[in-house]
Amino acid sequence: MAKANKRALTVCLAILATMVIGNISPSHGVSLYSTNVFTNSGFENPPGFTNGTIPGWGREFFDSNYGSATGVDCTQAVTGYCSARLDIAQSDIRLSNQSQTITFGHTSLYQVLPANTYFSNMTDRPDGLNLWLYIQPKFTDYPLVQVRFKAQSTIEMDYLLINIPLLGAGSGNSTNGGEAGKAIKTFVLAEPNLYHWTHVERNVRRDWVSTMRLPNGTVVPGFQLNDPLFRMEIEAYYYKDTSTGKIYGETVWADNAYLYVDSTTPPPPPPPSNYYAAFNIVDPTGTSVNKLVKWKLFNSTGQEVIGYTQNSPTLTLEPYTVAVYYPTITGQNPEPYLLLQQRILLNTTNTVTIAIFPQNTLPWSYIAINGSVTSMQIIKEDAAFLQFNAQGAAGPTLILVKVQSRPVAIQRNLDDPSSINWSYDSSLSILRIPAIALGNFSIFVTPPLTIPRIAFQDFTGNGVATGITWKIFYPDGTLARVVPGQLVENGTYTIQAFYDSYLIYTSILTSTPNPVRLQMFPIGNQQGNYIAFNSTVNSITLLENTPARLQFNAAGQGPNLIIVNNPSRPLSIQLDGNTITSWTYNSTSLTIAIQSSKLGTFTITYATPTTIPLFYIGAIIGAVAIATAGLLIWERIRSRSPTQPPPAVEEKPVTKEQPRSKPGNPQKRKRGRL
């Protein structure tokens, strides 16, 4: 009996030993170090965002909406130059099945871990997962960013940076709600600091084995450490609210992704701990402007590093941004003197180029612009006026101009000057122009002249526009390429009006938009035909206006240029009955130009018209055609009936004035036989 009990105890111990061994983690060597298991943690690739592969990382779009993209972006980074970017599109078409629409989807960036990487390999440290994320909402707002750990058994653990007001923070814990009916555990992290780098640090090993509370309140054990870690994913999400139609998306940058595992091999030496920031601020020519501007330094969360001195090795390893101000720093929102914000690299001297342009004529000093300027041209600059043309990125911009006097008017392009909401700080002598975009700017220290909207009238006071052109000339006589509504420097400007390219009016320009009365007299009731003079006339009398002749009398002072519309070239022109030859005819514009030293009665004779009206000419042609046709028909009938006797002819009584015709007249017989 004792022997049987001993045998049974041995079997039980063997079974128990088997059960215990089954829960023991795989054996590893003694670990003295921690190393990063991820490949290409810094996403360093050639500059420029490309929707392409990233060495060491995979991309997955199966549940993504059409148009989303993932690749390397070298405009954002924590350290180094580049980071990974996940960009969500607005389309609700599922990429893997373009006939299907979705309301919820995600784009994944993932890395498959080396074989036999167990959760028991994870280093037990607070920053076992060390990752930086930058979240920029798109469309309505951002919905969710997820960091997923998936075991080979398909059990998974998720870290969520979630828009709590939108999607809530409900528990996603489940013992069978994951892939293939396996368990899933979620941790909702603190809401991220949008538009700034967010530092994610988690002890993955402890999170994996920690207990899990189900939605019904039940607490269940955590996961086993003997499960291999298959892959880690970073996911950006798309969400469409079907009740409101609003679309939620995001652009997510990831950088410096580290997952620490135990190792017997020493890791690379740690980066230096004496981090410092240094920068040299220059204008577009490379000239230092450090003494003209002010700056602030901000850390990854957007907090200012107060009191920092350049080259001081007191900074922690995180992304920093320098903000440059001209001419002073402030704490307002928005900042009234902010020119530029630029990410900088630590432990090196960064060159920071700002758009600031020196001027060399008083009262002007500097023009500074808080955006990307591709070209800057100073068109004119004097003591009362500054005009420049700046081109660059589209969109709103802030222009700061150092000027000793308060301007009285500002115009951008040809916009209404009252639409510019500019301000002047007399204590700093700074003009602030928050413009909708860059362009051609005119700044006036003294009251300008406004190019009026010019209307023209003829001699009788009726409006005239056909054939009229005008030009404006600067005080120095050069042509001014200006348009109505444009502001120009005050001065003596000349306006000239032309009729069919002939100068007929010259005067001094004023801002008063009164109609300009031209010496143009309408010819008859036909619109657009005029007799125009380039000098002032006292009176004009139209004496004759027929197809053959135009005659008019003009009283005034000469010399004169007279322009007359007519489609025909004159045969002759007379002044007070005397033929003159000082005239030309333009067959293109159909105008007669007469040069005369005096005015008087002008007679313009055209080609002599026929004395038979056209109506009668047409009637005669028609009658001849009808008679000819009738004669032909009659001749054909006679030729078909030669035996038919001719019709009787009524003879007229013979008189002495008209003797009786002889019947034997050979001419008449001949015609009768035809």
Domain ranges of the chain: 33-263, 278-353, 357-447, 450-517, 520-605
Q: What is the percent of the chain where pLDDT is above 90?
A: 66
Q: pLDDT tens-digit profile of 138-191?
A: 999 999 999 999 999 999 999 999 998 888 877 789 999 999 999 999 999 998
Q: Is the pLDDT of residue 499 over 70?
A: yes
pLDDT tens-digit map of 259-274: 999 988 887 776 677 8
Instruction: Give per-residue pLDDT as tens, 452-469.
Output: 988 999 988 899 878 899
3-class DSSP string for 29-48: CCCCEEEECCCCCCCCCCCC
Percent of the chain's residues with pLDDT above 70: 83
Specify the range with the lowest mean pLDDT, choosing from 108-122, 345-359, 458-472: 458-472
Rounded Cα distance between 337 and 333, Å, is 11
- Tell me how far apart the alpha carbons of residues 338 and 141 are, in angstroms, rounded to a whole number: 26
* pLDDT value at 228 more than 60: yes
Query: 65: closest CA among 110, 95, 85?
Result: 95
φ and ψ of 288, to 5 deg: -65, 135
Average pLDDT, integer, range 124-138: 96
Residue listed under structure tokens 């190792």: 263
**Confidence (pLDDT) at 273:** 75
pLDDT tens digits, 406-432:
999 999 999 999 999 999 999 999 999
Average pLDDT value for residue range 360-365: 94
pLDDT score at 536: 86
Residues with Cβ within 8 Å of residue 577, at least 6 apart in sequence: 601, 603
- What is the tens place of the pLDDT at every residue in 564-616? 988 889 999 999 999 999 999 999 989 999 999 999 999 999 975 544 444 44
Instruction: Name, of 10-24, 520-534, 578-592, the range with top average pLDDT.
Output: 578-592
Question: Angle 281-283-287 (CA atoms, 0-180°, nearest 5)?
Answer: 80
Domain 33-263 has CATH 2.60.120.430: yes
Position 550, amino acid: L
> Residue 511: what pLDDT?
79
Least confident of 112-121, 218-227, 424-433, 651-660: 651-660
pLDDT of residue 636: 54
Q: What is the pTM of this model?
A: 0.63
